[in-house]
Structures are given as C-alpha cells and as structure tokens.
Amino acid sequence: MCGRFTLHSPKDFIAQRFEVDLDGIPELAPRYNIAPTQQALAVLVNTRDAGTAREARTLRWGLIPHWAKDGAKLPLMINARVETLAERPAYRDAFRTHRCLIPADGFYEWRVNDGKNPKTPYFLHLRGGNLFAMAGLWAHWRPMAEGAEPITSCTIVTAPANSALAPIHDRMPVILAPENEAAWLDPELQDPEALRALLTPLGPEHFEKRVVSTLVNSVEHDGPRLIEPAPDPAPSLF
C-alpha cells in the first residue's frame, strides 16, 4: 500500500518535470508527511473545453466515487489495487476516464516486527532522488445535502511489491515509467488491457530505502527530519 508520501522538490522543478503551471497553487510548500484525507497535488488532463492540456490541482486523498450517496459512510479509499481496477465499482469508471499523476519524491512503508517492537518506518525513493509519478485515479463527488461543497478526490494505484520492498510490505504504489505518463493521462485511451500494460511496477534496482524516525507516524509532524536515517529498533529480527 501507500499510506504516506513526500513532495518537497522545488516548485519550479515540479512544474517543469510534469509540464504544468503551478502559479494557481500558491500553497504548494515542501511536504514530508502527506497523509490520507489531506490535499495532494495531482496532474490530470483538462477536458472541459475538449482539449488535452495538462492541469495541476490539489485533491483530497481518499477517493469518493461520483455515484456515492454518502461519502462519510464509505471506507477511506486511499489505495486501489491494480488487479481489480476494471471490476470494482468504486474504481472502474475512474480507471476508464479519470486518471491522474500524483507527483512525489518518496514514500513511507512500515515493517511489522514482533509484538515487543513497534512497526519500523522506512523511507523509499528512487536512486538519485528523482521526482516520480504515482498512478492515480480521481473523481468529482457532489453531496446530496443542500449547500454542501463538492469534493474532488484521488486514490493511488498499488501493485504487489518488488523484491526490494517485499521484506517491508507486500504492496507498493505503482510508479509510472516516465515514457508511460502521457499515455496514462490520455483520455482517448480506455482499453483496460492497454491501461494495465502501463502499470508494471519499477524493478528493485531503481529504489533506495532507509529506516527513519517514528515521528512520521503522527500526521502532526512534518519537515526534513522525517526522512533522516534512524536506528532500526529491531535489527536482529531481519
């Protein structure tokens, strides 16, 4: 799965990397602990004017399908399994027509230890610290309550973990190869098999990982110290 991630690269670099204008998102500050229900940067295609221009928006992390009657009664859908995107009612419409890129420069996973030791958080990133795009889906939901504001939300697609991540967790976010990002955003591409072909996780040789402080466990904490190396509380177990 993916339960927390970071986006602390310079704003101008993010804009250049993903070919978007970020001037309309002045609140985009470096973040080291993006958590579910918070706003996350997403890149999608603006089709409102029958165009295909990329657009950057901040979306609530935790998908609410467009057909939901009461979003509060739904589970918090922060991750969508690649194996069932085309079948699950919560995701199949978005998989076909509402896909997005979720920029990041790292993410966290927690290793389960024995009962005497707390879970160990790891920070994972690409070698060289490069920005990457996680495959995402988005939806626009209009609540039935009079006067309630609509919510545009997103989820991150996950796949079975590669061998670098498997000792920590059995799932990982799908990080798109840069050459597949445009196809993932293409509103004309709606064939499930062609879309699934874009979602092959990157191999283990692309990743670096390190144990970090349990400060990341709390959404109240943010800042560069969260990604600094920390001692492993249970090194003898692994």
Catalytic residue ranges:
2, 109
Q: What are phi and psi of 13, to 5 degrees?
A: -70, -40
**What Å distances lie between residue 86 and 9, 54, 128, 177, 178, CA to CA?**
33, 24, 34, 21, 23
- Per DSSP, helices labelled H in the chain are 11-18, 92-97, 181-185, 192-196
How many Å apart are CA 51 and CA 54, to the nearest integer? 9
Supply the DSSP string of 182-209, one letter for each residue.
HHHH-TT---HHHHHTT-PPPPGGGEEE
C-beta of residue 209 within 8 angstroms of C-beta of residue 164? yes
